[in-house]
Amino acid sequence: MCGCGLFLRGAVAAQASRAAALTASRRRLRTSSRSPAFAKELFLGRIEKKGVFPFPEVSQDELNEINQFVGPVEKFFTEEVDSQKIDQEGKIPDDTLEKVKSLGLFGMQIPEEYGGLGLSNTMYARLGEIISMDGSISTTLAAHQAIGLKGIIMVGTEEQKAKYLPKLASGEHIAAFCLTEPGSGSDAASIQTRATLSDDGKHYILNGSKVWITNGGLANVFTVFAKTEVVDSDGSVKDKITAFIVERDFGGITNGKPEDKLGIRGSSTCEVHFENTRVPVENVLGEVGGGFKLALNILNSGRFSMGAFVAGMIKKLIELTAEYACTRKQFNRKLSEFGLIQEKFALMARKAYAMESMSYLTAGMLDHPEISDCSVEAAMVKVFSSESAWQCVSEALQSLGGAGYMKDYPERMLRDSRILLIFEGTNEILRMFIALTGLQHAGRILTARVKELKRGNVTVLMETVGQRLRDSLGQTVDMGLTGNLGLVHPSLEDSATKLEQNVYFFGRTVQDLLQRFGKTIVEEQLLMKRVANILINMYGMAAVLSRASRSIRIGLRNHDHEILLANTFCVEAYFQNVFSLAQLQKRAPENLDEHIKKVAQQILEKRAYICAHPLDRMS
């Protein structure tokens, strides 16, 4: 075991009493009443301030603890990890992997009683910033603990936890998450892998294939999802998905050849095949038939960390690119003096600031269980961060010019970052999840009002007309973010007012959409995309306003820079939202959805671009 690993484990032991106090405080938090989810309340035109304003804090003890971890981990990734070699050879060297294990990084979120570091979500995000320095290693670790073993922590029995978590924490065993199949990607409910109960009732016989499994070639322990027969409450037998803990030693498990990927090339990705694999009934994870819900909960819980991982990568990228821009000269001037280059750095900085703010805000919510379900917030962090990463890497490469097109930095980052838009739920699917979850929440609460409007209830109709008249006359919106008792610092007041206006008119628009479409809104994907985009922007606005306000009030260094970033982000997001809200109105001239659908239908009917060539002539 390397010296860094001994240091980290020693730090954990030294912090035992403090960790116990933190755990006790978290247990106390669980007994308090749960607050409404921030994102869902936005659909009602409300800002739920608890857990968001003020920005979440960590205790000084916890901050000291995480800072002891940061140094050794950063030193290892900076001095000992050869990312270029990992990318070229398509494999993480065994000695590098062993050092990762000795640092305790395979057990970051596994509780201390099972040999892990027992990090909170906030502390996990902080280490994630550093681990992101190598895409292959960060992917291997995320697949192991964010999804691979997460089900055992979430719903595993005490026996399952005691049996599997210690070796998973040390890295002696590596975990993988097996859900995707050749015919089942985003549509997880359509999987075909089947587990049949044996005649003696002691085992499930598992048969099927899984594809694109990260850690598939390394894993000793798999969380596998399969169809099983379940007797329903009415006595009928139905196929439902069940989760299983499957050991490679059970037999009947083979791997396909390693996939030759565009990026994260050092991570292990392959097909995993199960042929008559005998899984003891004791290895059912959670309830029989409860696997689909568990799979969604596992994926939902891990997405928040992508913001911190990506922010770490972008901050390193800014350093690399800024050095070049400040030394490279063209036309007798440094590149850094040109406005179009400056614009790129401003974009990268505000994207990094926003994703960092959103990620740590969500981590803070998750660390305080009195805050309600954070799955929508986590999905928003994933969508925003992955798309911002792709945009920022592209801008950095452009700033470097021809040098950026050469192999390695940042070319490797460009290839590594592209997968972020696809795995852990494609951004298209997540946008539908974000919008639909919020609309369902609003629908449950607004159903009675919408029904009365459809019936022509005069009182409700007059209230609605009056509300819209006040809107048209420029009604002042005040949700308590600004003013003498406001939660946002006065230097950010204009941006906070813009957020309040967006939230108010978003709530009004949601009510209108539910009245127009009802349950059929789920089929309006282009509309749902706009709803999701507005929500992501508003969450980003809230996160940067809360964070920047905290930085000003406690006097953090460069807080004036944070004010600039927060205000710039909010103004840009506000006007994007105003346009999107206009597009969501009935018969809006800004809305070209029908044109877009018609173009796509004509292309897809012919499966080709159908316009005549510009050089063609009529004979």
Give catalytic status of residue 424 as yes or no: yes
**CA-based radius of gyration for the chain:** 26
Say how far apart CA 580 and CA 343 lie, in whole Å.
24
Q: Which of 508, 501, 468, 467 is nearest to 482 (CA)?
A: 501
Q: What angle do CA 444, 542, 548 make, to 5 degrees?
A: 160
User: Which residues contact residue 57 at a Cβ distance below 8 angstroms, ignoring those fewer than 6 apart?
Assistant: 364, 550
List 424, 428, 452, 523, catalytic entry:
424
Please choose, from the candidates 367, 479, 380, the residue with its C-alpha nearest in 3D space to the C-alpha of residue 427. 380
Beta strand segments in 413-567, E: none
Q: Which tokens belong to 356?
A: 């960092």
Non-local CB neighbours of 23 within 8 Å, separated by 6+ positions = none
Whether the CB-CB separation of 414 and 313 falls below 8 Å is answered with no
Alpha-helix residue ranges (DSSP H) falling in 477-524: 493-517
Contacts of 260 (CB under 8 A, 6+ apart): 90
Rounded CA-CA distance 197/207 in Å is: 12
What amino acid occupies position 190?
Answer: S
Q: What are phi and psi of 427, to 5 degrees?
A: -65, -25
Alpha carbon distance 254, 472 (integer Å): 65
**Cβ-based neighbours of 509, under 8 Å, separated by 6 or more:** 581, 584, 585
Q: Within its chain, how far is the Cα of 289 from the centroid?
A: 26
Query: Catalytic site residues?
Result: 424
